[in-house]
Chain A
Amino acid sequence: MHDMGALTGAPWLIAMLIKVLVVFFGTMVVVALLTLMERKVSAWMQDRLGPNRVGPGGLLQPAADGLKNILKEETYPAHASKLFFVLAPMLAIGPALITFAVIPFAAPLPTPWGLVDMIVADLPIGILYILAITSLGIYGIVMAGWASNNKYSFLGGLRAAAQMVSYEVSLGLSLIPIFFLAGNVTLTQIVWSQQQELGWWYAFPLGLSFLFFVISAFAETNRLPFDVAEAESELVTGYHTEYSSMKFSMFFIAEYSNMVTASALMATLFLGGWDIPFFTFDNMRVIAPGIVEGAEPAWWKTLLTFGAFGIKTLFFIFLFMWVRWTVPRFRYDQIMHLGWKVLLPSALAYVTFMAAAILTLDTLGVPFDFWYGLILTGVNLVPTVLFLVLIDRDRVIGGTAPAARRSGPLPQGITATRRPNADANVERENQEA
């Protein structure tokens, strides 16, 4: 227990304002840099150079893009509902930029005026706030599609809305096992539980939840392979087809800041947030204003934990980009199938299974510590393997049947199998030859 003194009065107000502004402008700057990173990553994956003319290594490209977008001509389609047409990008960007507020991004920082916790708003409803605000993000997209009075936009907006609501259910369900272990919905408690109470990052004991959450988060952010809302081969660019200039940029900023928040959330929920693994010097939490439980806060700990948080978040952002430039887009019926017929029942079954497993461990009197997490990790492997085998349907794991029929062994590194009738076609071609 360390009493670092509570922040009150003017210092509290100033610290809060600084945090709000830092998080707001930080998100905007990160979003700007991400547009560059996306292009650099895609260039790297496709063996190109990417943007390299504006500034050193193309670093000033986002600034040039931003300036260009402000100066571009605006279009207002003749039959568009003008008010809603202008309102839609604001409705999209608003929820996207305020969700980051409840994510703790570093260990609390001691200052001469008192302890400053590194979170904009430690709400008692924690992650429910994020669920609530992201569910409002649908309006911007639907409104854009509807107001544009363009068939592509309209279809894109509708598809996006139906997809987002479909995956919101599995997103919510995948959070429930976390609440089992954390016992609260605030993200500070979830981090504390992972670094001290249980001592395991939830990605291990709740592995399948992690998988469900990542898939649902990809769908919620409308990123590939779930980007049918803006499938350029069918819908031009979907709901923002008619948008130009800064209003187009705003949809872009909304998409990227949603990606940042989703990445930070995955890092916080499943990879311990700002926790540094294998060390206990950073294990602390604020139990009352100014009073810290666990290790003693210090400025260098805040800095280090912020670095840990940044690395984890960056990893997930990179995952978003990696997947985008690797995996092809799903068909819309496949997306609906995955959401309603695979993720929803599996997540429900997993919640029930994990509840039973945790209660059994409690009934057996296993203390809530390292061994608890280890046993749970082992137990969790059963549904995880089962799910992977079921969803695989003999394509990669059990893909022996079609391979056995092939004459020679597969070339090294090729794991995909052929459809059965493909072999028949080859045989027919051989006979014709």
Chain B
Amino acid sequence: MLESYVPILILLGVTLANAVGMVVLSHLVSPFRPTPAKLEPYESGMTPLGDTRERFSVKFYMVAILFIVFDLETIFLLSWGVVMRSLGWQGFIAALIFIVVLTVGMIYEWKKGALEWE
């Protein structure tokens, strides 16, 4: 069982070496002649105004937290999916209750407008 992970480790090593190698190689052979204008953030030729790292919309945060909840739901249903046929109707009802409970949550957030992206 564990041997099957060995190629993954080697592939990971090759990929990381390749990623580092690419950056280092291009750093060594490419020119670097900075000018003040070149180093400015690119804003289509305009002089940048204000700081980039301002606070942004809470909606992204909403998406992330809802994602966690539904990701967990997916994981649970996924493990049910593998054994669904051998468990039969009893497992189906257990999963159905689970789905219904979370659908209630989804209807709630939908009605509350948490899914709107104005």
Interface hit among A268-276, A352-360, A384-392, A411-419: A352-360
Evaluate contact between A185 and B82: CB separation under 8 angstroms: yes
Chain B residue, CB-CB nearest to A23:
B11
The answer, yes or no, to whether A16 is at the interface (CB within 8 Å) is yes
Smallest CB separation, A393 vs chain B (Å): 18
The answer, yes or no, to whether A263 is at the interface (CB within 8 Å) is no
The answer, yes or no, to whether B104 is at the interface (CB within 8 Å) is no
Evaluate contact between A176 and B53: CB separation under 8 angstroms: no
Evaluate contact between B23 and A356: CB separation under 8 angstroms: no
User: B40 to chain A: which residues have CB within 8 Å?
Assistant: 77-78
Chain B stretch 1-48: residues in CB contact (< 8 A) with chain A = 1, 4-8, 10-12, 14-16, 18-20, 22-23, 25-27, 29-34, 36, 38-44, 48
User: B43 to chain A: which residues have CB within 8 Å?
Assistant: 150-152
Smallest CB separation, A291 vs chain B (Å): 16
Chain B, interface size category, equals 35 or more
Evaluate contact between B15 and A337: CB separation under 8 angstroms: no
User: A70 to chain B: which residues have CB within 8 Å?
Assistant: 25-26, 29-30
Smallest CB separation, B80 vs chain A (Å): 8
Evaluate contact between A333 and B56: CB separation under 8 angstroms: no
The answer, yes or no, to whether A242 is at the interface (CB within 8 Å) is yes
Chain B residue, CB-CB nearest to A122:
B4
Q: What secondary structure prevails in chain A residues at the interface with B?
A: helix
User: A151 to chain B: which residues have CB within 8 Å?
Assistant: 41, 43, 48, 52
User: B11 to chain A: which residues have CB within 8 Å?
Assistant: 20, 23-24, 97-98, 101, 120-121
Interchain CA distance A358-B86 in the complex, whole Å: 11
Chain A residue, CB-CB nearest to B70:
A169
Interchain CA distance A123-B11 in the complex, whole Å: 14
Evaluate contact between A246 and B26: CB separation under 8 angstroms: yes
Evaluate contact between A21 and B14: CB separation under 8 angstroms: yes
Chain B residue, CB-CB nearest to A120:
B7
Hey, what's the 0/1 contact readout for A342-385 against B, CB within 8 Å counting as 1? 00110010011001101100110000000000000000000000
Chain B residue, CB-CB nearest to A334:
B117
Interchain CA distance A345-B70 in the complex, whole Å: 11
User: B85 to chain A: which residues have CB within 8 Å?
Assistant: 180, 183, 358-359, 362
Smallest CB separation, B102 vs chain A (Å): 8
Smallest CB separation, A232 vs chain B (Å): 11
Chain A stretch 144-183: residues in CB contact (< 8 A) with chain B = 146, 148-152, 154, 158, 161-162, 165-166, 168-169, 172-173, 175-180, 183
Smallest CB separation, A65 vs chain B (Å): 13
Chain A residue, CB-CB nearest to B61:
A162
User: B71 to chain A: which residues have CB within 8 Å?
Assistant: 165, 168-169, 172
Evaluate contact between A165 and B63: CB separation under 8 angstroms: yes
User: A21 to chain B: which residues have CB within 8 Å?
Assistant: 14
Evaluate contact between B20 and A75: CB separation under 8 angstroms: no
Hey, what's the 0/1 contact readout for A1-27 against B, CB within 8 Å counting as 1? 000000000000000110111011000
Q: Which residue of the partner chain, among A120, A168, A358, A363, contacts B67 with CB atoms under 8 Å?
A: A168
Evaluate contact between B82 and A72: CB separation under 8 angstroms: no
User: B92 to chain A: which residues have CB within 8 Å?
Assistant: 355-356, 359
Evaluate contact between B117 and A332: CB separation under 8 angstroms: yes
Evaluate contact between A86 and B70: CB separation under 8 angstroms: no
Evaluate contact between B6 and A16: CB separation under 8 angstroms: yes
Interchain CA distance A178-B19 in the complex, whole Å: 34
Q: Which residue of the partner chain, among A165, A337, A348, contacts B99 with CB atoms under 8 Å?
A: A348
Q: Which residue of the partner chain, among B12, B23, B25, B73, contacts A90 with CB atoms under 8 Å?
A: B23
Evaluate contact between B88 and A69: CB separation under 8 angstroms: no
The answer, yes or no, to whether A294 is at the interface (CB within 8 Å) is no
The answer, yes or no, to whether A83 is at the interface (CB within 8 Å) is no
Evaluate contact between A352 and B96: CB separation under 8 angstroms: yes
Smallest CB separation, B94 vs chain A (Å): 11
Evaluate contact between B22 and A246: CB separation under 8 angstroms: yes
Evaluate contact between B81 and A98: CB separation under 8 angstroms: no
Known contacts A16-B6, A77-B39; 18 further A-B pairs (Cβ under 8 A): A19-B7, A20-B11, A73-B32, A73-B33, A77-B40, A78-B36, A90-B16, A98-B15, A152-B42, A169-B73, A172-B75, A180-B84, A180-B85, A183-B82, A183-B83, A183-B85, A356-B92, A359-B88
A residues apposed to B, CB below 8 Å: 16-17, 19-21, 23-24, 69-79, 86, 89-90, 93-94, 97-98, 101, 120-124, 128-129, 146, 148-152, 154, 158, 161-162, 165-166, 168-169, 172-173, 175-180, 183-185, 236, 241-242, 245-247, 249-250, 332-333, 336-337, 340-341, 344-345, 348, 351-352, 355-356, 358-359, 362-363
